[in-house]
Amino acid sequence: MELLDPAKQKRVFPDEMYEKLNGFVDDLDIDPADPRKKGNLIQVLRKGQQIFGYLPRELQEYVAVRLGIHHAEVSGVVSFYNFFTTTPKGEFTISVCMGTACYVNGADKILSQFERILGIKSGEVTEDRKFSIDSLRCVGACSLAPVVTINDKVYGRVAPQDVEKIIEDCLVQEEA
């Protein structure tokens, strides 16, 4: 029988990061007695993910304390939204659009090609933390389907045979 085991996590992030987030929360000027204070949660989590790169448990607990809400609630929200991640992403976040327009133009093949070449599955990150793969739903550039975004760059009309080249581009870019 498989048992649920606590996954121990240590606090690993430097104080500066917390200070940044703290400043952001301070600026929101949240009244602890205001029943609507929770309305800031998603905003704070976005900021947290921006600063920390992801939302590990230590950060979620911190946000819970700062906003005066239960950790479970924060965790429930984090796990609900695709945008939030509790594992670190790669230096290059490859997002393959799996929206309808891209899908009918073969996005699934692009995705599996990335997975094959990098040896990881969608949602995972390479061991050297260089690449992570995700799928997303429509960036609104459907006329360029299939579309892949890597960090902020949009690649349109990608074909399976282009994938290797795109990855190489990233590596070159990194060296530059």
CB 158 within 8 A of CB 147: yes
Is 142 within any annotated ligand binding site?
Answer: yes
Q: Which range in 24-32, 68-76, 120-128, 168-176 contacts other proteins by CB under 8 A?
A: 68-76
CB of 142 to ligand FES, least distance (A): 3
Q: Give 82's DSSP letter.
A: T
Q: Which of residues 14-43 bind other proteins (CB under 8 A)?
A: 36, 38-43
- Cα(169)–Cα(88) distance, rounded to whole angstroms? 22
CB 123 within 8 A of CB 88: no
Secondary structure (3-state) at 154: strand
- Cα(102)–Cα(172) distance, rounded to whole angstroms? 27
Query: Residue 114 or 131: which CB sits closer to other proteins?
Result: 114
Is 170 within any annotated ligand binding site?
Answer: no
Position among 21, 59, 163, 166 found at the interface with other proteins (CB under 8 A): 163
The pair of structure tokens assigned to 172 is 């070159």
Q: Which range in 40-48, 68-76, 94-102, 120-128 contacts ligand FES by CB under 6 A?
A: 94-102
Interaction between residue 121 and other proteins (CB under 8 A): no
CB 40 within 8 A of CB 30: yes
From the list ligand FES, other proteins, none, partner contacted by residue 105 (C-beta under 5 to 8 A by kind): other proteins
Q: Residues at the annotated binding site for [2Fe-2S] cluster?
A: 97, 102, 138, 142
